[in-house]
Amino acid sequence: MILIFATHNAHKVEELTQLLPYNINLYSLTDIECFKEIEETGSTLEENAKIKADFIRMKYGLDCFADDSGLEIEALDGAPGVYSARYAGSQKNNEDNIQKVWKELKGIKNPKACFRSVFHVHLGNREYQIQGRIEGTISFEKKGTNGFGYDPIFIPEGYQNTFAELGEEIKNKIGHRAKATLELIEILNYFAAT
Ligand code: ITT
């Protein structure tokens, strides 16, 4: 089956391509030549995931899903959260975002955080919303070169290394998007069987 992943983020596409079964033909927004920046005007991950998925469903009428994800830091009342991509400004710069996290967390030891991912899914005339999360802590040193975004400063619970050091094999097992994807696969199986 053909499924559109409503994202411009190549890292997310790479993760999902590795996680979904071979019978799902995953197409990104680039693949379908949709270069529009869909405005994320919601105030929650749930709202933004729906905005992105609804846009593609309305415009193309295809089965699709969107992911809105973010880093939620306990000591910052859940920030950067839904604003993770543009925490330090509309330039959406990873380095600036990380610097801002460190500035806001100054003096706090082993700050607790989680990554959360919300998928909004359109299949036929059905709609679903699912999520995945992974708990961890923030590192005050950037470590590792894999992944993207806040991966070099996020240490998942039960590990000593950042996601950027642990690499895709581990992230694809325990990560927030990997967990949401497991649920997506269940929904796809159910949809195919009914
Ligand atoms: P799309 O909206 O096109 O999917 P995006 O990168 O703008 O791509 P989001 O709106 O979901 O994605 O913003 C998520 C931001 O949260 C992202 O830019 C990263 O800074 C951060 N983030 C989300 N998942 C992450 C992950 O697995 N590893 C590191 N940072 C992540």
Residue nearest to atom 4 of ligand 1 (CA): 7
pLDDT, residue 191, reads 87
| CA 149 to ligand 1 centroid distance, Å | 7
pLDDT, residue 125, reads 93
Burial class (CB in 10 A: 0-12, 13-18, 19+), 152: buried
pLDDT in tens, the chain (194 residues): 999 999 999 999 999 999 999 999 999 999 999 998 899 999 999 999 999 999 999 999 999 999 999 999 999 999 999 999 999 999 999 999 999 999 999 999 999 999 999 999 999 999 999 999 999 999 999 999 999 999 999 999 999 999 999 999 999 999 999 999 999 999 999 988 88
pLDDT, residue 95, reads 97
Q: Is 133 in the pocket of ligand 1 (CB under 6 A)?
A: no
Residue nearest to atom 5 of ligand 1 (CA): 9
Class of domain 2-193: alpha beta
| CA 111 to ligand 1 centroid distance, Å | 20
pLDDT, residue 139, reads 98
| CA 188 to ligand 1 centroid distance, Å | 23
Measured between alpha carbons, how far is 164 from 139 in angstroms, rounded to an integer? 11
pLDDT, residue 167, reads 96
Which listed residue (63, 67, 68, 151) is catalytic? 68
Concerning whether 31 is annotated as a catalytic residue, the answer is no
For the CA of 15, the closest atom of ligand 1 is: 27
For the CA of 66, the closest atom of ligand 1 is: 4
pLDDT, residue 168, reads 95
Domain ranges, ordered by start, for the chain: 2-193
For the CA of 147, the closest atom of ligand 1 is: 28
pLDDT, residue 153, reads 98
